[in-house]
Chain A
Amino acid sequence: MTAAGSSTTTAQRLSAAAAALADVLSAGHDGLPSSDLAIAGQARDQVLACLTIAQRYLFAGLGHTTHLSSADYLRHPMLGLEEALRRRRPTGLTGPAPTDLAMAPPDHPTARAWTVLARELDAASVEIARARPDNPSWAWRWAGLAPRSSTGLPPPGSPDVAWGLAADLAALCVGLAAADEQLAHAFAAAQTAAAADPRPSSLERQEIEHSFATAHDAVTGRSLTDLRVVAGLALRMAEDGPLPDDYHLPLHTVGLAPLVPAAAADLAPALGRAQDMLADGPPLTHLEHRTVAVELTRAAALLARLVDDPTARQALLRLAQGTDNAAKVWASSALFAATEGSRAPGDQLHAVNAFFISDVTVSDITRPAGGARPETVRDAVERSVAQLPGIARAAADNAARGLNEGSFVAVDRFGDRYQPAERPLSTHPEGRRYENAVSQLRAVSADVRQVLPYADPAAHSTTTSRPARALLRAVVNTPSSRPDHPALPPPLLSRPGPTPPRPHAVRR
């Protein structure tokens, strides 16, 4: 869910991680005590794992990389980046547990920045991994990088989001490679210091030496798929087109249980989940569409009784009339559903409406004892109202998707028997009737959204942070040496200079 349920988007999480990585690089690793160096090493391993996971999910739609030759990685920087991450080794250093670090952060700013970086990237990678499977990996098919789906239709998902995510991850990979170079010097220094330290016992000293030597080898290991070079190529490729400043990967919602509101504050997240279920879930059957339309009508009518603003009340009445029109069409449907559908969106909206008419709500929201409603309750009601047009729009889009993807079958009647109609749904009278209902619902949703005095948080989310790729710009533009491999063709690995702004690379 976008801004409805969580205020932090995926892009903002990656931005926070990039800011922490920039802090790591600017503060440097000089003078880092060995205990803080262990913290940095452990956090670095976590960052590497998170980037690997995120990159793997991002390019899941492109297939496995195990059967590609080394040259293929160079030809395809995106796949090469995944392979380069996979070939990077962990340092194996062990620091304190994350809970201990949260309670007692390290004193050194670099070690502290490493822990922040690991935490933020962990949250982002989990978000990416939990995103619906067709988002964003399917977007690559749409973007033309991979074959289209078997139906030939463009799958859902935005290529811009996928490219934005790819650019940010690539920038973080470049930053990680730069941090690894700093860590290599720090590990070498720590190894030398451990060898010269007379205090620990001989065995202990050998262990410390060995662990820093292993860590040093891990961060200095170079291969054909050098992380910094490949990440730089991937970033350049991703930036060769429009990139969104803010984006979010919605949770994979198919099969998700409805969120049953227990307090007014749960209303907006519950409604946001209904919208996600409609947007991300499968096309609904005609009965499920009717249920969604009826529950939307009910929600609009119930909320119209709760709002104080007459403009909002009138807008909700208009929305209820629009969704009633859709319910009317679905109620006399002469189409059959050819797919399984999902009851989840209807159940979710039903749970919200049940909350509105529950005893608790009646005393808490609709008839407060003191007369005026508390500020928090009024805010929750207004946020709920602001979300309804978006849900109506998502329901219309879901129906349009079902009509386009052949989820409905028009039938012809022969006596008491029904046979699938021979003419396509697009030319069938029922098909046209449904298309009209969809376009009307979209129009009503747009009208009501404009009239409503409350801002839809999803529609008006503003980003306050710069994208990760922008924060790590200085690192990306720092010249680096080529990987020392004799087989590398120089033209491929020569670092690209600063890319001049292209006419079509419009920032949004």
Chain B
Amino acid sequence: MNVLPRIWSETPSRRRARAVMAHLAEAMPVDTLDDIEAKLCLYDAFAELDTWLPLGAVLAPVEPCPGTVVDAYRLLVAAIHEEHTAEEAGQDLTPVTARDRVATGLAAGRLRALLGQDDAEDATSDVTPDVTSDGAAPASVEPDRPQGPR
């Protein structure tokens, strides 16, 4: 069986958000029931991004990238209004559909439940993902691609 399923295109921010979420899945503690319940919100965000895909399509695998919940949240919020970039032109891209935007918004909503009140206000005040300014924010899932604010 050598036929791969169709890989659904994602905007750069959304893909990076998933990479950060994959890192969080590894990094978040599960020592107590409270920890586990918090982590379930993260998994719910994963599920939101998957369940809105067309039948037969899957998201590309991502490698975990360091980052915080705030980073992932801000990336998702930015991805809601994002289009494919010019450097991706020529690739076999699927358009950013309304379902993609709704799914991204729902996933962001799931992550928001993990943010404290202050974090939520800070994250919402500036939704532009400046992921390299503080040095701790996520890199890309593709290390060879230049990173920076979009």
A residues bordering B, Cβ < 8 Å?
A: 287, 290-291, 294, 297-298, 301, 304-305, 317, 320-321, 324, 327-328, 331-334, 336-338, 406, 409, 411, 413, 416, 418-420
Contact = CB atoms under 8 A, between A and B. Distances in A.
Given A304-B33, A332-B62, A420-B2, 14 more contacts: A294-B43, A297-B36, A297-B39, A297-B43, A298-B40, A321-B36, A324-B30, A324-B36, A327-B25, A332-B26, A332-B63, A413-B61, A418-B60, A420-B4
A476 to B, nearest CB: 50
Contacts of B133: none
Nearest to B53: A287
Interface of B: 1-5, 7, 21-22, 25-26, 30, 32-33, 36-37, 39-40, 43-44, 46-47, 50, 58, 60-64, 91
Contacts of B36: 297, 301, 317, 320-321, 324
A-B pairs, 6 with minimum CB distance? A334-B61, A338-B1, A332-B22, A294-B43, A331-B25, A328-B25
B58 A287 contact: yes
B22 to A, nearest CB: 4
28 contacts: A290-B46, A294-B40, A294-B44, A297-B43, A301-B33, A301-B37, A304-B33, A305-B33, A317-B32, A320-B36, A321-B30, A321-B36, A324-B39, A327-B25, A327-B43, A328-B26, A331-B21, A332-B62, A334-B61, A336-B5, A336-B58, A337-B58, A409-B1, A409-B4, A411-B61, A413-B61, A419-B4, A420-B2
A320 B30 CA distance: 8
B2 A337 contact: no
A305 B36 CA distance: 12
A18 B37 CA distance: 52
Nearest to A353: B40
A418 B7 contact: yes
Contacts of A406: 1
Contacts of B22: 331-332
A301 B38 CA distance: 11
Contacts of B30: 320-321, 324
Contact of B61 (A290, A304, A332): A332
B21 to A, nearest CB: 8
Contacts of A338: 1, 3
Nearest to B43: A294
Contacts of B7: 418
